[in-house]
Structure 1
Amino acid sequence: MDSDTAPGGHHRYTVTASDAVPSADRETVLEMARETEAADGKPPLNDEALQAIQHPEALAPSQTPLHVTVHRTSTDEDGRQQLEWIGYAFLRDALSDPTGSLFVVPQARRAGAGRRLLAATIEAAESSVKIWAPGNSVAAQTLAASAHFSPVRTLLIMSRPLDTPILDPEPPAGVSIRAFDPARDIDPWLAVNSRAFAHHPEQGGVTADGLRATMAESWFETGDFLIAEDSDGTMLGFHWLKQHSDTRGEVYVLGVDPAAGGRGLGKALLRAGLQHLRDDLGLTEVILYVEGDNEPAVGLYLLNGFDTINTDVLYAQQHDQVGN
């Protein structure tokens, strides 16, 4: 662990970097994230970051995460110093894949804390940093430009109402759709997920411990995790759903084994999941996240009533600026 202090306007910022958030500090970081989400209308951290904060033991042994926190020190009228937590950054692997996100709580913005936090994150990483900007706000674009970051990846947030017609799933002949069974599905799911997301650094790298940690979350229900299998019981694909509230659900992960592609499984699983959210859970809206350049997936969602409502952008350091 290392820390350093630098002036920031009328305050001094103390930055601390470590490979895990101490258990005594986890709730403080999570509360900052909740406060930021309440103000911005969107979560500043994805599920991978939240899991790394709360369940570091579930990470892959080869993964070296980075957690950076920024604190503001101020002096009150009586000359007493006060330390306040105001920002946090996460990188999924500081060595091989320094991709993540950062945020500053609303009341501490526009005073240099974001620049200080980003600079400390870059300094602590072993290679070029990539940072997600949820919603790609003007402030995020400005911060990225000031640090010589450029957009390299886009994530679309799509939504549709559930009170409009949903077409029947119509799975291929010999294929059935059922609920996930932890007693027999963990290993087959890990294998299918790894193949389906072989080129997706976050989802494709889910481990057994990571899966079990997610299954231990309060929102997880086996009935919301749909499995498509062939007549011989071979798992072909899955549609993992997540309920956010009494009205909103999410297409959390939808994947098909590449060996089973071209049979309409993605369409069948999507529609079965939408019907489940509407008919079994009584929800009225569903959202999803999809790579902006994944044309087949975006096309599938558009054909099934989804529209883009927001965009997240991943920014990366320009190579000629790394180390400067």
Structure 2
Amino acid sequence: MNVLPRAEGRSLELALELVEAAARADGVRPLSEEAELRLRHGGPDGGRDVLFGHEGRAAAYARLDRDGDGGWQAEFVVHPQLRRRGLGRAMAEKVEELAGDGPLAVWAHGELPGSAELGTARGWTRARTLLQMRMPLAGPGPHADPELPADVVVRPFRPGVDEEAWLAVNAAAFAHHPEQGGMTRRDLELREAEEWFDPAGFLLAWRLADDGTETLLGSHWTKVHPAGEVADEPVGEVYVLGVAPAAQGLRLGRALTDLGLAHLRSRGLAEVLLYVEEDNTAAVALYERSGFSRYAVDVQWHRPARRS
């Protein structure tokens, strides 16, 4: 089992081949978008790529990173043809070893059979549940020109211009969110370099002052998953929808949602997905009233810090 500061060359190829094999077999990506980006481009100092080879291919892979609170966060996957051979247990033991005495959080995407069994057997507890919800886009859709305050205009993201303003509002809007609220300039630019990035689907709401200054109030960043990634056909996503705390009460969230969904529908997409924390009952209820239904579940398992 190789523990690498960063997977490169053949090790990177093998890990990516494993990720794709698991996605095809399971119908769900085995790693989060952030973990995949860190696998392909490297992550913050202290992170690790863990690779277990078998007969010229990757049998298991894990990504391990500091979580910012003194603990560790991990995700791992076992090759579909090599499961039920103890590799999942071996990888779990390895990430526990690398995390030392610190707390450890492990994401299981899709809540596949075996993930709960493994987590429970190791004494881990369910800490967070992330719902994937989906809604058809066929039929009558949201209004493409919703009512906005007179001094607010919505326009597409401008690469190279709007990054800092968006990051500031994103951090404020998601101050309570352990992943989204901590997005950095590098995180944003990595996503801008991805093939799926389309500034036309990244909508920003600005307040225009009489003196010509502009203040960003919120945004709806949409994404399109290509055919074969999350479904046989392309699927849209409510990727990041956030409103600055100071702009709450202006109904911008509803307007930006409608504009984003209208954009996705204009792309000819038949379905849209989003992710929401299960315990955010108000948001879940709102999405269900809007036509979304529960589709899949990601679970974060937690091992507390060990006492010395």
Task: State the TM-score, normalized to the length of structure 1.
Answer: 0.85
Q: Which residue, out of 28, 31, 39, partners 1:42?
A: 28
- Counterpart residue identity of residue 196, structure 1: A
Give the CA RMSD over aligned residues: 1.9
Counterpart contact for 1:160–1:285, Cα < 8 Å: yes
Residue 243 of structure 1 aligns with an amino acid whose one-letter code is: V
What is the CA deviation profile of residues 202-251 of structure 1, one whole-angstrom value per residue up to 9, with x for unaligned ones? 21111111211110011111111111111232111111111112531111
Where does residue 87 of structure 2 map in the other structure? 113
Tell me the equivalent position of 2:229: none
Q: Which moved more, 1:292-301 or 1:130-139?
A: 292-301
Aligned pair partner of 1:130 in 80, 105, 113? 105
Provide the rounded CA distance (Å) in 1 between the counterparts of 2:250 and 2:40: 39
- Give distance in 2, aligned partners of 1:302 and 1:37: 27
1:101-134 Cα offsets, whole Å, 9 max, x none, are 1110100100000000010011001412111111
Structure 1 CA distance for aligned equivalents of residues 5 and 247 of structure 2: 39
Q: Once the 2 structures are TM-superposed, how far is the Cα of residue 323 of structure 1 from its aligned partner?
A: 7.0
Task: Decide whether the 8 Å contact of 1:94 with 1:125 is kept in 2.
Answer: no
Which consecutive unaligned segments of at least 5 residues does structure 1 have? 1-14, 73-81
Structure 2, unpaired ranges of 5+: 227-232
**Residue type at the aligned position of 2:220:** H
Q: Distance in 2 between matches of 1:97 and 1:171?
A: 43
Aligned match for 1:178, one of 152, 155, 160: 155
Deviation at residue 23 of structure 1 after TM alignment? 3.8
Check the 8 A contact 2:11/2:51 in 1, yes or no: no
Q: Specify which structure has the bigger relative contact order, considering alpha-carbon pairs within 8 angstroms and separated by 6 or more residues.
A: 2
Q: Distance in 2 between matches of 1:115 and 1:121?
A: 10
Query: How has the CA–CA distance of structure 1 residues 122 and 85 changed in structure 2, closer, same or farther, with 3 Å as cutoff?
Result: same
Q: State how far apart, in whole Å, the 1-side matches of 2:121 and 2:106 are.
A: 14
Say if 1:17 and 1:124, in contact at 8 Å, map to a contact too.
no
Q: What is the match of residue 168 of structure 2? A: 191
**What does 1:194-233 correspond to in 2, within 5 Å?**
194-232=171-209, 233=214
Tell me how far 1:83 sits from its aligned partner: 4.8
Deviation at 1:94, TM superposition (A): 6.8
The ranges of structure 1 where at least 4 consecutive aligned residues each deviate by more than 3 angstroms after the TM superposition are none
Contact 2:174 2:180 in 1 (8 A): yes
Report if the CA contact (8 A) 2:71-2:99 is conserved.
Answer: no
Question: Matched residues in 2 for 1:36 and 1:52: separation?
Answer: 18
Aligned mate of 1:287, from 254, 273, 292: 273
Counterpart in 2 of 1:87? 60
Q: Give the structure 1 partner of residue 216 of structure 2.
A: 235
Aligned residue type for 1:105: H
Distance (Å, rounded) in 2 between the aligned partners of 1:270 and 1:85 = 41
Alpha-carbon distance in structure 2 between the residues aligned to 1:102 and 1:173: 49
